[in-house]
Structure 1
Amino acid sequence: MFIVNFNFIKPIEEVNRFTEVHRNYISEQYKMGKFILGGPKSPRTRGVVIANCDSEEEVYEILDKDPLIQKEVAEYNLVEFIPVMSTVDLGRYCK
């Protein structure tokens, strides 16, 4: 699994112009089980997503199609981790 840390590199007003298309795009990733949970950090200068992908390359492929990345209003970095504990609801993702 991966933690995706988004960092907004443009003013929030510009980010807001693409938020709806970004959410529409990533909602498909949730439906396919590639993204598990995510949302904005507080304050809303960044965001985070927990991704359930098979490889770092798969995450890059998904994120590089994200409108926030394509419009160059955000950048991201990845942290790979191996889940060993979770709530009951998220337990099915643990190895």
Structure 2
Amino acid sequence: MFVMELTYTAPVERVDELLQAHVEWLDAQYEAGVFIASGRKQPRDGGVILAVADDRARIEEIAAADPFTVAGVCAYRITEFVATKTAPALAPYRQQLPA
């Protein structure tokens, strides 16, 4: 599982100009089964996405396609972790520690 933390690198007014395209990109990733949660950080200086994929390279590819990234208004920090414990509703995403 991956935590994708984005931080705005441009004024929020520029971010807002791209928000609809970003939301459409988010929707496509939810439909593909990659994203399982997302939202703005408070204070509003970026956002956080929880994602699942086979490998980090795929997540980096997805982040690079975000309209925010393409327009240069955010930077991503991607953290991979092994989700060995989850809420019951997230049980399908539980992982085993590598041997």
Structure 1 unmatched ranges of 5 or more: none
Instruction: Give the Å deviation of 1:66.
Output: 0.7
Whole-angstrom distance in 2 between the partners of 1:25 and 1:17:
14
Match in the other structure for 1:77? 77
Q: Please give the root-mean-square deviation of Cα atoms over the aligned residues, in Å.
A: 0.7
Question: Which residue identity does 1:90 align to in structure 2?
Answer: L
TM-score by length of 1: 0.96
Larger Rg: 2
Per the normalisation by structure 2, the TM-score is 0.93
- Gaps (5+ residues) in structure 2? none
Instruction: Give the match for residue 40 of structure 2.
Output: 40
Identical pairs, percent: 31
Aligned pair count reads 95
- What CA deviation, in whole Å up to 9, does each residue of 1:6-54 have, x standing for no partner? 0000010110000111010111111111111011010110100011011
Q: What residue is the counterpart of 2:88 in the other structure?
A: 88
After superposition, give the CA deviation of every residue in 1:64-84 in whole Å (9 maximum; x if it has no partner): 111000000001011100001
**4+ residue runs over 2 A deviation:** none
Q: Distance in 2 between matches of 1:43 and 1:76?
A: 17
Within-5 A mapping of 1:9-48: 9-48=9-48
